[in-house]
Chain A
């Protein structure tokens, strides 16, 4: 078990190193002269002398390896350089933005888990009957509706027509409800299918037959025998979906006027602010790697078969 954890940690470190390499090469390979771009963004006329000064200032003349080492050293310490557009530190309000995006992702993950489990159980409890068909139809609809359309419908339904929740802003808990549900629709649809199919497979296995022959009812078997069996599969699927939520956050945050990392990334992309794009990309990639690590450890905890393999 300790062997597995140490191996997995080393694996994550290698992945983190590769992610940093990807972020660095992306910005280095940008077309055009970065120094000219910065000079123009600062509102100055890009005379050769000034461009030269800027290039000297951001260290464009140094060899690539030196620049990478310098950048990585700063990034590890939380310094992502200076925004080309605003001239301020990229990391200035990053902690606040990460908190906003964190709230969004954690809340959505909880909502998606609850919705997915409920829909999946509905289908598994009455297989191939009306509730199952309803659950399957909802899953198809949820997996196919574009997230921005879901968000627009949520605002129209719950904020314009019924005025239950505010349509924008990051205020109290009631302003969190609509974004959470909007982000959770797609993962919930996928998870409900995972639960439904997993439960059906578990219900066909020999230990369920044993439980039936002991005289247990369907509800007891579903919760006591089948449910523990699908937990590792469910955690795996949830991990993938939480990773994908970063992409959804980029769509949902501007829609609800939340100032999170996704919104920051989008601003950076729109104004070609490489330093912001680079920083956000590195945060996203690090997030995937950490989520994957947590998922693997959680599977190790919940699946006795995997645990036995590694002990």
Chain B
């Protein structure tokens, strides 16, 4: 924790807010079943469309369900589906990317053309086409979104893998007689996964948005499981009499997406300082000492 503190202090105000929002989202999502004050699907038709009261802090929806509890459980739903989408997409993407980066040649060309096609079609259209062929359902949604998401991590991991493969220590390993398996699993894969993970977290916002959009269209998470996009479309017919039920889930989703977008921008601009490990510090000290020597020679 102490090592994190200077890193946190060096951040600008905006990324700091983003980290707090993301932390809140992760905490709510992880502990939702214990945090929700009431049963999210308990209906009470005598108390529909209420405003904020002592029992229901954010009111109730058109079926008398507690909105606050539903919003919190929705964070959990969103977190789980986004997590599974990103894990599947990253596994496929890193596998394809490292294979392309390791082999080069026609394997690389073929895989990267597939990635190009995947990237040029909007992810929503890819996902909807897959759902249209396979039929709707929770796992279809996860599968469809993973299929739309893997080209992104595939391209990044291919670029990272190519740069790792051109480094001198890989050549040294080859000269020493290391097997391809050792180079691939011992050196190429760990390095690539680390780099891709950073970009994948930044992408979590768009993934959350895609899950909510599919649910809004009625093809993602099905009622009665609460999800922000699905809560919004559920309350849309009552927009005139009870706009709160539309605006609250929309705001929750927007806040989460803004958080991830700011984080992604900061990562792209390299504004997030990494906590320095002892090894990096030692390396840096040697480097600086080298400069000093060069200057004294001159």
Contacts and interface: CB of A to CB of B under 8 A. Distances in A.
Interface of A: 18, 22, 26-27, 29-31, 140-141, 143-149, 152-153, 155-156, 160, 243-244, 246-247, 250-251, 254, 265-266, 268-270, 272-274, 277, 281, 284-285, 288
A26 B120 CA distance: 17
5 A-B pairs closest in CB distance: A269-B132, A149-B250, A247-B122, A247-B124, A277-B132
A27 B129 CA distance: 10
A267 B120 CA distance: 24
Interface in B105-147: 117, 120-125, 128-129, 131-136
Interface string B243-256: 10011001001100
A146 B122 contact: no
11 contacts: A145-B250, A145-B254, A146-B209, A148-B216, A149-B232, A156-B247, A246-B122, A247-B122, A251-B216, A254-B217, A272-B135
Nearest to B254: A145
A146 B218 CA distance: 16
B164 interface: no
Nearest to B124: A247
B121 A146 contact: no
* Chain A binding surface, main DSSP class: helix
Contacts of A31: 133-134
Contacts of A18: 117
B133 A274 contact: yes
Contacts of B254: 141, 144-146, 149
Contacts of B131: 269
Nearest to B250: A149
A153 B219 contact: no
A44 to B, nearest CB: 21
B216 A27 contact: no
A270 B136 contact: yes
Nearest to B209: A146
A190 to B, nearest CB: 11
Given A265-B128, A266-B128, A270-B219, A148 B262 contact: no
Contacts of A148: 213, 216, 229, 232-233
B250 A152 contact: yes
A246 B122 CA distance: 8
Contacts of B205: 144
A197 to B, nearest CB: 11
Interface in B227-281: 229, 232-233, 236, 239-240, 243, 246-247, 250, 253-254, 257-258, 261-262
Given A18-B117, A148-B216, A156-B246, A247 B134 contact: no
B72 interface: no
B136 A26 contact: no
B221 interface: no
B253 A149 contact: yes
Interface in B167-208: 205
B198 to A, nearest CB: 20
Contacts of A251: 124, 213, 216-217
A250 B212 CA distance: 14
Given A146-B254, A251-B124, 12 more contacts: A22-B117, A140-B262, A141-B254, A144-B257, A144-B258, A145-B254, A148-B229, A148-B232, A149-B254, A152-B250, A250-B124, A284-B125
B143 to A, nearest CB: 12
A148 B132 CA distance: 21
B239 A152 contact: yes
A268 B132 contact: yes
Contacts of B117: 18, 22
Nearest to A245: B122
A160 B242 CA distance: 11
A59 to B, nearest CB: 19
A140 B133 contact: no
A160 B133 contact: no
Contacts of A277: 129, 132-133
Contacts of A265: 125, 128
Contact of A288 (B120, B257, B261): B120
A153 B239 CA distance: 10
A143 B206 CA distance: 10
Nearest to A272: B135
A272 B137 CA distance: 13
B261 A144 contact: yes
Contacts of B128: 250, 265-266, 269
Given A144-B254, A152-B239, A246 B261 contact: no
Contact of A26 (B129, B247, B253, B261): B129
Contacts of A244: 122
B257 A146 contact: yes
Nearest to B239: A156
Contacts of B213: 146-148, 251
A156 B261 contact: no
A273 B129 CA distance: 11
A254 B218 CA distance: 11
